Amino acid sequence: MNRRTSRARRAAAVAAIGALCLALAGCATAPPPAPAHAMARADLGMQSSATTFADFPAAPRDPAPDAGTDGIVLHVTRDIAVHDAPDGAVFARLPATQLDNPTWVPVIAERGPWAQVLLPSRPNGSTGWIRTDGAVERARTPYAIDVDIDARRLVVRNNGAVVGEWVVGVGSPDSPTPRGRTYIMAAIQETVTTFSPIILPLGAHSDTFSTYGGGPGTVALHGWPDPAVFGKASSDGCVRVPDDALRLLATLPLGTLVHLR
């Protein structure tokens, strides 16, 4: 993919979009209802932002959490409405940034000008439909990450070919790593703690912790200074990876699919 993602500070920013006004005159009968995507622009400022801090219990769930994708990812260039189906009801807005990184989300289905994408919000497996003929840019990542939780092994593939494989640490029995397909949501250069120079938050959350360290319990890929943790189930839900694995993972595009199996 010919793009470079921002590797930046920790923060989240949201913005409201202006309202769309429709004026119809000279008609004796009531005008037909505006399409859902047009009404969405008017209502967008009232919608909750689909970030790692949000929870949308009624969001459509991932219909195939073990399936792959064709690698298509969408860059949201400004806040955009999220629908529960093509031309369906709007239930959220997807912001242009996530944790101070540009928003890239993987496509899991398409229908005309609509794409179903994975969301970074709770519950795990949340999805939504966005229009692709507006404030989005389309690209493809050849990479996919597979984490076998039981075998404690992480594999990176490029167009299906293995380019790296490592033994990793996963969540303990009391705070297991969640399962399903998710994606690299952001890349954060760590300046507060020293356990990992880069942290890669995923669009998934702990099923044990509703909050963690002041955050929403977001699961991440990150390094660890003590190699004794690799091959063990001892984390609070995150996947701990060796240094050389982290160096490769940090180069992968945002939106890259991650299977937690």
- Cα separation of 72 and 52, whole Å? 21
Catalytic residue among 75, 83, 205, 238: 238
Catalytic residue among 83, 205, 222, 259: 222
238 is a catalytic site residue: yes
Predicted confidence pLDDT, tens digits, the chain (261 residues): 444 333 333 333 222 212 212 222 222 233 344 444 444 444 666 689 999 999 999 999 999 999 999 999 999 999 999 999 999 999 999 999 999 999 999 999 999 999 999 999 999 999 999 999 989 999 999 999 999 999 999 999 999 999 999 999 999 999 999 999 999 999 999 877 789 999 999 999 999 999 888 899 999 999 999 999 999 999 999 999 999 999 999 999 999 999 999
pTM, to two decimals: 0.83
Q: Peptide bond before 176: cis, by omega within 30 degrees of 0?
A: no
CATH 2.40.50.140 applies to domain 143-260: no
CATH 2.30.30.40 applies to domain 36-140: yes
222 is a catalytic site residue: yes
For 253, phi then psi, to 5°, come to -65, 145
Instruction: Kindly report, as residue ranges, where domains of CATH 2.40.440.10 are found in the chain.
Output: 143-260
Instruction: Kindly report, as residue ranges, where domains of CATH 2.30.30.40 are found in the chain.
Output: 36-140
From residue 58, how far is each of 6, 99, 125, 239 by CA, in Å? 31, 24, 11, 28
Q: What contacts 9, CB < 8 A, 6 or more positions away?
A: 100, 188, 189
Burial 176-208 (b: 16+ CB within 10 A, else e): bbbbbbbbbbbbbeeeeeeebebbbbbbbbbbe
Please choose, from the candidates 164, 86, 174, 184, the residue with its C-alpha nearest in 3D space to the C-alpha of residue 131.
Answer: 86
DSSP 66: T
- Cα separation of 204 and 218, whole Å? 6
- Cα separation of 17 and 13, whole Å? 13
